[in-house]
Amino acid sequence: MNYNILIGGAAGQGINTLSSLLEKILHRKGYYLFSNMDYMSRVRGGHNFVQIRFGDEPITSHHSALDLVIALDQETLDLHQSRLKDTGVIFIDRSLNESKTSDNKQLKTYDFKSVAKELENNRVEGSVTVGAVLKHFGLDLDYVKESCDSIFKKVSIAQLNYTAIEKGMDLAESLLTLNPMPNNQDKILINGNQALALGALAGGLDYYVAYPMSPSTGIMTYLSSKQSEAGIVVEQAEDEIAAINMAIGGAYAGARSMTGTSGGGFSLMVESLGLSGIMEIPLVVVDVQRPGPATGLPTRTEQSDLSFVLTASHGEISRMILSVKSAEDAFYATVRALNIADKYQIPVIILSDQFLADTSQTIDAFNFDNITINRHISKKEDITEGTYKRYEMTENGISPRIIPGKIEGQVILSDSDEHDEYGNITESADVRIKQMNKRMQRLEMLKSVVEEPEHFGSEQPNLLLMGWGSMYGPLQEAVKMLQDDGYKVASLVFGDLYPLPTKLLEKYHDKANTLVNVEQNFTGQLGKLIRQETGIHCQKSILKYDGRQLSGEEIYNRVIKEVL
């Protein structure tokens, strides 16, 4: 069982409230959900939509064929009715121009607006519609009240919307009967930005500072809503340059610090990324990618910052780059990023993207038993020679790090210039070489902690599809569809990107006849990185760069047409 609903209209018509309410109800009823947003960069108007797939098994990608279209305006009707299945229907309000569509037998015209008007609040039209949707799928009012209470904080408003849903159910007829689902209290419904923010809290974040920039803003919004409860500080800086420098300052003072932005903001942060490198300051930077260059498509998705972040900064620094593959992965990966930054005193860059940021998915509740917060702060007894040397040469290349003012009599000298072990500025060639060797030595150490890409599909594949980050879910679905057709196919999806893990890559490269990189960019940036690091060449590429995410179905179709 698997159904696909599209809710479309102009910005300002209440699409988000309608979809959020419907998602919460379906989730509480025990169904698995996968919902993604497609919206324009404007406050009002334009064409926006939300797609909600739900069913009785986990769902990892969006899909084009629709079972139900809720058209809040004529444009939605015109753009999406061709995607409707033969069994699908369209819900519209009677006020839309019926003369253009009266011969469409799939069209269901209801008095959503009139019912809302009878309830003396036009804003409950969306809830009236939700009632009609529930009735269409043969669902009852169980969990509806709880869902209204969770979205509408004012009791009277929650009750009004509950009433609107009841009224909406009276409008429609039941055309489907869904299997009831068991209780799903061990499941949560969460989007990528929220999961990443929760991971930061679980990982011991003390200080988050950022400048709002779509689609990363949701991280700051979520953290700021929890800062009192969590005992952290969330700061909105005046720009991204200030944000990363404030985060570095927080880390210098001992706080677990993180900043987040999108591609344009990351561009502004680059000089200070190098500052954290030469000062050996632990720092996590989240780049929620969107299509560039410049403003590009600010509310849409792309995976086009990988090549940039690999070398961002003048000069050379050790860094680690990882991408998050799903909401579940975003949580655990963020904890890990904070621990790695702390241990190796390096910047760790997390790559996410708009698709993942705004996609809500049913996943297992986070297991906090798997979470550890590993701080690497030196103590008084670690200062071996009586005088603290911030940049002391050590066997493993990591200098002792103490917090200013915490150990009596010890002074911390830290500088953006090249420096000796004490932190004094120097232009000594010998010291320069030693300090560079020490800092870059960490790249070798990181190779021992990188995680191999996730493999799924055949152990003896003829065809190997490789992706990273948010391509995880769509590739899962595509591989399953190809295997169902009898193809020997597998996929490797990278989370850790730099240093590049190579064991599984080399293993399956030796088995597969054809390697294909599947990415959301123009130049095939993962394919280039793999070739640069290993000499392994991808024979084919499946690339997309129109700002819309590849689906599992789309990958399947392109593999059939362009590869096999």
pLDDT of residue 38: 93
pLDDT of residue 102: 59
Give mean pLDDT, residues 173-188. 88
pLDDT of residue 3: 97
Give mean pLDDT, residues 184-209. 96
- Over residues 380-409, the pLDDT tens digits come to 888 877 889 999 999 999 999 999 999 999
C-alpha angle 162/163/164, rounded to 5°? 90
How many angstroms separate the CA atoms of 530 and 464, rounded? 14
Q: What is the location of CATH 3.40.50.970 in the chain?
A: 189-364
pLDDT class of 183 with cuts at 50, 70, 90? confident
Neighbours of 36 (CB within 10 A): 23
Q: What is the location of CATH 3.40.50.920 in the chain?
A: 454-563
pLDDT above 70 (res 100): no
Q: Tokens for 292?
A: 């560039």
- Over residues 351-383, the pLDDT tens digits come to 999 999 999 999 999 999 989 999 999 998 888
Q: What is the location of CATH 3.40.920.10 in the chain?
A: 2-171
Domain 2-171, architecture per CATH: 3-Layer(aba) Sandwich (3.40)
pLDDT of residue 401: 96
User: What pTM does this model have?
Assistant: 0.95
pLDDT of residue 384: 76
How many angstroms separate the CA atoms of 491 and 454, rounded? 8
- Over residues 25-48, the pLDDT tens digits come to 999 999 999 999 999 988 788 899
- Over residues 428-485, the pLDDT tens digits come to 999 999 999 999 999 999 999 999 999 999 999 999 999 999 999 999 999 999 999 9
- Over residues 145-154, the pLDDT tens digits come to 999 999 998 9
- Which contiguous run of DSSP H or E holds residue 465? strand 463-468
Q: How many residues appear in the chain?
A: 564
Strands 257-261 and 283-289: parallel
pLDDT above 70 (res 101): no
pLDDT of residue 392: 95
Give mean pLDDT, residues 408-423. 94
How many angstroms separate the CA atoms of 451 and 244, rounded? 27
Looking at the domain 454-563, which fold is it?
Rossmann fold (3.40.50)
- Which contiguous run of DSSP H or E holds residue 227? helix 217-230
How many angstroms separate the CA atoms of 328 and 454, rounded? 14
How many angstroms separate the CA atoms of 259 and 411, rounded? 27
Q: Strands of 32-100 (E only): list them.
A: 32-38, 45-55, 66-71, 84-93
Tell me, what DSSP letter sits at residue 12? Answer: T
* Range from 9-13, 217-221, 463-467 carrying the lowest mean pLDDT: 9-13
pLDDT above 90 (res 313): yes
Give mean pLDDT, residues 257-274. 98
pLDDT above 80 (res 261): yes
pLDDT class of 98 with cuts at 50, 70, 90? low
Place of tokens 């006849």: 513
- Over residues 50-78, the pLDDT tens digits come to 999 999 999 999 999 999 999 999 999 99
> Which residues on neighbouring strands pair with residue 465, listed in sequence order?
491, 516
pLDDT of residue 179: 87
Residues 189 and 145: beta-carbon distance below 8 Å: no
| Percentage of the residues of the chain whose pLDDT score is greater than 90 | 92
pLDDT above 70 (res 99): no
- Over residues 491-533, the pLDDT tens digits come to 999 999 999 999 999 999 999 999 999 999 999 999 999 999 9
Average pLDDT across the chain, whole number: 95
Which residue, 512, 505, 531, 490, is CA-closest to 452? Answer: 505
Domain 189-364, architecture per CATH: 3-Layer(aba) Sandwich (3.40)
The residue among 446 and 96 whose pLDDT is bigger is 446
Tell me, what DSSP letter sits at residue 124? Answer: G
pLDDT of residue 12: 86
Give DSSP secondary structure letters for 457-480.
E-SS-SEEEEEEGGGHHHHHHHHH
pLDDT above 70 (res 120): yes
The SS3 assignment for 164 reads helix
